[in-house]
Structure 1
Amino acid sequence: MAANNRSTAQEQQNQDILMIEGMRCGSCAIAVEALLKKQPGVSDAAVNFAADVAMICWDKEKPPLANLQQAVARLGYRLHSSVDPDRSKLQAESVRKHLQRRLAVAVVFGMWSMMPALLIYLAPFGAVEAEVLWPLAVASGLFAAPVVLYSGSHFYRVGWRTLIAGAPGLDSLIFLAVFAACIISTWQIFAGSYHVYFDAAVMLITFQLIARLLDTSVRRRASEIIRRYLQHVPEQATLKNPEGKLETHPATDIKAGEHIVLRAGEQLALDGQIVQGHGQADLSMLTGEHMPQALGPGAELLAGCQLVEGELELVVTASTGQRRIDQLSRSISALLSRKTTLQRLTDRIARILLPVILIAATAAVGLALVQGVPIPEAAARGLAVMIISCPCALSLAIPLVITMGHANMINRGIVLQDPAALEAAAEVGAIVFDKTGTLTTGEPSVNSITPARQWTESGLLQLAQDTLLESPHPVARGLMANRHSVPEPAPEGTRGSFSGLGTRWVNGETVALAGRASWLREQGIDVPPTEDTGMSVYLACNGLYAGKIGFQETIRQESAATIRQLVQQGYVIYLLSGDTRKACLDLAKRLGITPEHVLSEYSPEQKHSFIANLEQQTPTVFVGDGLNDGLALAGARLGIAVGNAASATGAAAAVYLTESIAKVPTTLQLAQRARKLMYQNLFWAVGYNALVIPLAVTGWIQPVIAAVAMSLSSLCVLLNSLRMQSQIECDSAVSSCKLSSSLQPLT
């Protein structure tokens, strides 16, 4: 284990996350990645278009950033030393609008270009006179000009860049096919012939713009993940200058070593160490522990944590950019830069197809010339090969399954946020659950009421409610939420809170205390010997012990039934939490999770490390709720965020369940179905090329028929993807029946 930790630490030291600005598609990412891998000192590189990030690795010395920036600039992109979520968001919006404008032009002018082309196709049937065929061909070219020159311009730029980088892909093929179609068509027009192929170029561009828009709408979410992640930290802090004066400053202007003040109810903007004051802080944002922790001088407090009670003075230990939450966001960026199995497979197929298609097109031209075919017709054969084998279906295979499934699944409270989810669930063997907010509600409920002799249960409960009426402590909220009836308005009195200890309520001659047993004893109350676990409130009235109220975590109604169903389906269940060992074991016992699979007091980094180690044994799903789960959700084979997940958590997960974990079994089944459809689409796309390329090479298929066949190939992928909706209906009904039959009251 120690060796693995050292290895992981070394890998993290020898890698860095950079931001790429200017990428507009997956081919851009392929070109930048290929170029970065060739740079001196770079041992490996991975570029993710969806996240706008590049992860570079090195063995000995870190390559100079300036050299990498200069290399990337040659392709027309900009490399930045840090990830800027706002810049990524603006870029994502720009790409979306860019594609929408070009698609609108392609659809409008493409329709007009296709109309004269259609009349030319019908000429052999006597639909038009021979003398109007040439003007129709010219009209088709004129209407195609805006599509070719404007809508397709991006493909040419990227195609040329990827050729220069030595990593040609789909854009390079589109560039060559459109260029060839236009050159041959223009040549035919000047030669007085009406055999033009502008419509084929228009169809190619339009289909690819649709594919890009679908892919973009599904996958460009990563900038939102980091942006939302950091939204949970305030932008300003209260600075205490050397003279003791308090001033509000932007957190970015405050440096390590300066002093800041944090008051009750405020959230910490910077990492710091307490130098003065006591209080209770909610650390659940980063640790997941549901109970506020008592803190005093010397304790560390991280940005994002909220002070529940008290007032603290801290010395800043990490400024903006170096905070723990900044490190977590960079780690998530690194995880998002990874490529999934299907993405890598699609990239490999596209890289292999391009040289195969170019060789086949050249062979078609050569074979035609050997057979004595005129040069224009021989060139048309080569063009037919390029058009019919253009992998439009390959580029649509994955986005269409996502799109078809998403609209139907979202109505059932299942939101797919990453195509990786649909391939990750196929071989899942273990499911790891977070505790607080996932299996439990996050607020405690009354478990037991033990009054002293002179008190009744209802009287003790009323005393606790009156005393803790204004307390922000979770136990107090749980106490109010568990009232069996609406009490009368509590007498006003005065209430004083003692951070981490308890509350005193004075109402006339009545003095009531509620808090820890040790604190009551310090006030002279004779409290019976008991173990103070932090999940009980001890009460006293007018100097006499009144009793105690015990609390337990409130389990979500569907948790036990869902876990039973998953166990019956053969999954191994783990409980992973930042909470205490006792709290985790108590919950596991109530849900039927074996103690050997309970892991407690884990930090976000430790959670991710555990998931990574478990992945080496079996594909793993992590189900979580809360910002401290973001790293584990992004790093797991399949991350599922549930319920009231923090916005950053919901974005970091591949799947977001808007209701509860009751949909986890259904999600896994549907993801497996979708992955199967993806592979079927990929098989068809590759098989289609293997079938039609030889026919096109031998001259059996003309360019216009090639364009139609290319469209039919994409249509086949579309029809197969539509099966996702019917399978969702069927699988959802089966899963609902199974879950309903397994629901039993909790004991």
Structure 2
Amino acid sequence: MALSASPLLEGEELSSLEPAHSVVLMVEGMRCASCAIAVEARLKRQANVSDAAVNFAADIAMISWQDKKPDINQLKRAVARLGYQLHTSIDPKRSAEQALKMRKQLQLRLAVAVVFGMWSMMPAILLYLAPFGTVEPEFMWPLALASGLFAFPVLVYSASHFYRVGWRTFIAGSPGLDSLITLAVWAAVIISCWRLYQGSAHVYFDAAVMLITFQLVARLLDTSVRRRASEVVRRYLQDMPARVQVLDEHGNESTLAIEEVTLGQRIRLNSAQQLALDGVVETGSGQADLSLLTGEHEPQMLNEGDELLAGCTLIEGCVTLIVTATQGERRIDRLSQSISRVLSKKTALQQLTDRIARWLIPTILIAGGLAIALSLFQGLNITQALGRAVAVLIVSCPCALSLAIPLVITMGHARMINNGIILRDPAALETAADSKVVVFDKTGTLTTDTPSVSRVIPTYKWTEPRLLQLAASIMQDSVHPVAKGLHAYFITNTASAVPALNDSGERQSLAGLGTQWHSAQGLALAGRATWLAQQGVDIPKVSEGGMQLHLSLAGEYAGCIEFEETLRPEAVSVLRTLQARDYAIYLLSGDTAQACSAIASRLNIPSAQVLAERSPEQKHRFIEALERKTKVCFVGDGLNDGLALAAAGLGIAVGQANSATGLAAAIYLPNGIEQVPTSLRLAKRARKLMYENLFWALAYNGCVIPMAIIGWIHPVIAAVAMSLSSLCVLLNSARMQGETPYREET
């Protein structure tokens, strides 16, 4: 299969990166997806708000408007009435601390529910066996009371979260699962207490405890995976230097925290240091590694007036910069904010579950009312009618529905780990089944960061081994990529056996030009052809293109070594496998057109599907434009890919991707792209099982609710039946772990 050429998308990819009228805010205090539903519903009702999307996993809300901007203070007050806090600044650290605190609270609540729930079930079991003569009639009421007393800590402490969130979603006008749980639990408790007051031993405390325990398990499974998304922004910025060297008006140097630096101040950046703030070069020169933000493989020369962004590293030289963007306004900050916007968007599966929750609750309440009416019509008393309604509420409580997605994620995560695949964002997996296009970044994804020697061109007085050895001797202490390439060449080739030149003498690296070595044989030079010519070396006419290293010794030209990017060993076989499965392959990179075309030709990627010299924002816009036509999987490595990875239907980060990229992607492959085909297959399998679980959970409710209405299901049996539905979902999800993908052809 092949899609139309990329020019069709060129106009579309120039669309705005962000909505014209929108803002991303942080929501503090959310504990589950129902909290997000309540906050979202409340925000949508506020003046001038055209739309709102709240993401529980990332603790963020995106507010959109048409003409007049909403009053942020009014939005804060509206959210505060629900018990949450709205912040204009995103604080990932606070979000991470809140996630950890919430997880510990859930674990404690579950521990209390399990311990006291078991004690509550013990007298309940004896009551079930009473018709068989195992319990004397005079002991039945005390056993029922004991069941209620043991259930008390579970009902008061373990379930308190469900009551609080259920009330908040109710008053917000969007009652969800927590509202239904609250209703079912308190209906069971009130009827049980009333029956105890009447002297009856027919109570339902055990059913309420089972309901609470199962829901806590589901909530803990869900948060254990999904809350990792809140780490994206925090990890995106955590590796930036915290302090910089600042120069005052007299040239005196001091070290300040980046929060204390203001616009226009002068900072110094030395060799091998990473820049913490955006700036413009005032004095000095050097070579910078821009790959984290641009994907550009080859180091770039810096001169006065050039812009250098936070996250870039100075390889050689020393420069003084004037700060043009402080913390919070840097290019890297804008990228993290854009990722927050992307994370706030809801996927199709999330929208589907929201719709299910909206119509399921009124349906269940109507079913409970029908059960009461039918009971009274059949001549039952009000207590018996209410008991039947409780059975309807318990049996229809969608535990299986709430477990449907987290169980597949948990099972699939273990299965993927066994294949060297790390699941990061399960919400994106649902698009895998429809993916038709795989877009690859180049640098660090299809290629390594060490160039390879492609051709050695010595002059007639030199041999290839001697020229290589001269180059290795000159570049002995260099950190330039070609020095790494030479080192790799000598490790894998017999040329390393050539006797080394005398390595004594001083070496000096001139940023952007080359390296000179005062050897015993004379001055040796390695660098650009133009620089050697400026040093008086007579160089034959050469065409400079790509990565070349020209060498001379004692004023005599020795030859040239050409380098090319090194393909990952598995790149050819992986792309061949994907193409055989009818995926269209695109190459999207920040590197030069010449470098991208060279790699594309080696991998059989059509030239019309090669896009070079793209910034992170342009990558994002291209992915968005392509997504409007078909489902896209983007495979990348590096900070400059984070935005595209988050925007793609399925993002896969590979290789030694930094922590931000790995978390912005749905899947992380630490060992390279070899497992990309397997990842796609497992992701498709996971998405299929998610939909199967949703179907069976809803089908279960469709079967048992009518049975409960006509009185065929006792409340206790309803609790058992509810657990059986969860067991069915569990067994179906276990198929994910047993799925063995066939071995990819090499």
Shared topology, TM-score over 0.5?
yes
The one-letter amino acid paired with 1:564 is R
Alignment-derived partner of residue 191 in structure 1: 198
Mapping for residues 484-495 of structure 1, pairs under 5 Å: 484=493, 485=496, 488=500, 491-495=503-507
Matched, 1:723 2:735: yes
8 Å CA contact 1:421–1:655 kept in 2: the answer is: no
- Deviation digits for residues 409-468 of structure 1, max 9, x if unmatched? 201101112222331111111100010111111210111111111111111111111101
Number of equivalences: 733
SS in 2 for 1:226: helix
The CA RMSD measured in Å over matched residues stands at 1.3
- The 2-side partners of 1:670 and 1:258 are apart by 52
8 Å CA contact 2:113–2:212 kept in 1: the answer is: yes
- The 1-side partners of 2:252 and 2:340 are apart by 39
- The 2-side partners of 1:561 and 1:212 are apart by 41
Query: How many angstroms does 1:554 deviate by?
Result: 0.6
- The 1-side partners of 2:340 and 2:365 are apart by 37
Alignment-derived partner of residue 662 in structure 2: 650
Query: How many angstroms does 1:475 deviate by?
Result: 1.1
Alignment-derived partner of residue 592 in structure 1: 604
Alignment-derived partner of residue 595 in structure 2: 583
Mapping for residues 630-709 of structure 1, pairs under 5 Å: 630-709=642-721
The one-letter amino acid paired with 2:16 is T
The one-letter amino acid paired with 1:154 is H
Matched, 1:8 2:19: no
8 Å CA contact 1:86–1:223 kept in 2: the answer is: no
8 Å CA contact 2:288–2:301 kept in 1: the answer is: yes
The one-letter amino acid paired with 1:607 is K
Alignment-derived partner of residue 360 in structure 1: 367
Question: More relative contact order in 1 or in 2 (CA 8 Å, sep 6+)?
Answer: 2
8 Å CA contact 1:421–1:671 kept in 2: the answer is: no
Query: How many angstroms does 1:711 deviate by?
Result: 0.5
Matched, 1:108 2:120: no
Corresponding residue to 1:530 among 517, 536, 542: 542
SS in 1 for 2:551: strand
Alignment-derived partner of residue 370 in structure 1: 377
- TM-score, with length taken from structure 1: 0.97
8 Å CA contact 2:12–2:622 kept in 1: the answer is: no
The one-letter amino acid paired with 1:510 is G
The one-letter amino acid paired with 2:652 is I
Query: How many angstroms does 1:481 deviate by?
Result: 1.6
SS in 2 for 1:538: strand
422-431 or 68-77, which moves further after superposition? 422-431
The one-letter amino acid paired with 1:19 is M
8 Å CA contact 1:622–1:636 kept in 2: the answer is: yes
- The 2-side partners of 1:35 and 1:152 are apart by 24
- The 2-side partners of 1:261 and 1:419 are apart by 43
- TM-score, with length taken from structure 2: 0.97
- Deviation digits for residues 359-410 of structure 1, max 9, x if unmatched? 1112211221222211211110111110000000000001101111111220
The one-letter amino acid paired with 1:559 is A
8 Å CA contact 1:286–1:305 kept in 2: the answer is: yes
Query: How many angstroms does 1:236 deviate by?
Result: 0.9
The one-letter amino acid paired with 1:8 is S
The one-letter amino acid paired with 1:652 is A
Mapping for residues 558-637 of structure 1, pairs under 5 Å: 558-637=570-649
- The 1:6–1:446 alpha-carbon spacing in structure 2 relative to 1, beyond 3 Å, is closer
The one-letter amino acid paired with 2:239 is H
Query: How many angstroms does 1:509 deviate by?
Result: 5.0
Mapping for residues 84-163 of structure 1, pairs under 5 Å: 84-163=91-170
8 Å CA contact 2:546–2:564 kept in 1: the answer is: no
8 Å CA contact 1:433–1:574 kept in 2: the answer is: yes
Could you list the runs of 5+ residues in structure 2 that have no partner in the other structure? 1-8
8 Å CA contact 2:127–2:144 kept in 1: the answer is: yes
8 Å CA contact 1:237–1:248 kept in 2: the answer is: yes
8 Å CA contact 2:521–2:553 kept in 1: the answer is: no
Mapping for residues 327-342 of structure 1, pairs under 5 Å: 327-342=334-349
- The 1:682–1:329 alpha-carbon spacing in structure 2 relative to 1, beyond 3 Å, is same
Q: Aligned residues: percent identity?
A: 62
- Deviation digits for residues 166-219 of structure 1, max 9, x if unmatched? 010000001111111111111111111000000111011100100011000111
Alignment-derived partner of residue 260 in structure 2: 253
Mapping for residues 426-437 of structure 1, pairs under 5 Å: 426-437=433-444
- Deviation digits for residues 619-644 of structure 1, max 9, x if unmatched? 11000111110000000000001111
Alignment-derived partner of residue 305 in structure 1: 312
The one-letter amino acid paired with 2:373 is G
- The 1-side partners of 2:687 and 2:284 are apart by 55
The one-letter amino acid paired with 2:128 is Y
- The 1:298–1:235 alpha-carbon spacing in structure 2 relative to 1, beyond 3 Å, is same
SS in 2 for 1:307: strand
Alignment-derived partner of residue 47 in structure 1: 54
- The 1:419–1:65 alpha-carbon spacing in structure 2 relative to 1, beyond 3 Å, is same
Matched, 1:453 2:427: no
- The 2-side partners of 1:81 and 1:579 are apart by 36
108-117 or 486-495, which moves further after superposition? 486-495
- The 2-side partners of 1:714 and 1:558 are apart by 42
- The 1-side partners of 2:11 and 2:60 are apart by 29
8 Å CA contact 1:516–1:534 kept in 2: the answer is: no
Query: How many angstroms does 1:508 deviate by?
Result: 3.5
Alignment-derived partner of residue 204 in structure 1: 211
Query: How many angstroms does 1:658 deviate by?
Result: 2.1
Alignment-derived partner of residue 62 in structure 1: 69
8 Å CA contact 2:550–2:560 kept in 1: the answer is: yes
- Deviation digits for residues 523-552 of structure 1, max 9, x if unmatched? 011111112225010000000001011101
Query: How many angstroms does 1:349 deviate by?
Result: 0.5
Alignment-derived partner of residue 4 in structure 2: none
Alignment-derived partner of residue 410 in structure 1: 417
- Deviation digits for residues 285-312 of structure 1, max 9, x if unmatched? 0001111100101111100000001111
- The 1:490–1:430 alpha-carbon spacing in structure 2 relative to 1, beyond 3 Å, is farther
- The 2-side partners of 1:333 and 1:222 are apart by 10
SS in 2 for 1:440: coil
8 Å CA contact 2:229–2:425 kept in 1: the answer is: no
Alignment-derived partner of residue 168 in structure 1: 175
Query: How many angstroms does 1:4 deviate by?
Result: 4.6
- The 1:6–1:56 alpha-carbon spacing in structure 2 relative to 1, beyond 3 Å, is farther
- Deviation digits for residues 90-132 of structure 1, max 9, x if unmatched? 0110111011000000011101111111111111122222111
Could you list the runs of 5+ residues in structure 1 that have no partner in the other structure? none
SS in 2 for 1:550: strand
Alignment-derived partner of residue 555 in structure 1: 567
Query: How many angstroms does 1:61 deviate by?
Result: 2.0
- The 1:129–1:160 alpha-carbon spacing in structure 2 relative to 1, beyond 3 Å, is same
The one-letter amino acid paired with 2:582 is G
- The 2-side partners of 1:422 and 1:227 are apart by 23
- The 1:488–1:61 alpha-carbon spacing in structure 2 relative to 1, beyond 3 Å, is same
- The 1-side partners of 2:179 and 2:579 are apart by 49
The one-letter amino acid paired with 1:81 is T
8 Å CA contact 2:470–2:501 kept in 1: the answer is: no
8 Å CA contact 2:13–2:624 kept in 1: the answer is: no
SS in 2 for 1:110: helix
Corresponding residue to 2:724 among 706, 712, 721: 712
8 Å CA contact 1:495–1:503 kept in 2: the answer is: yes
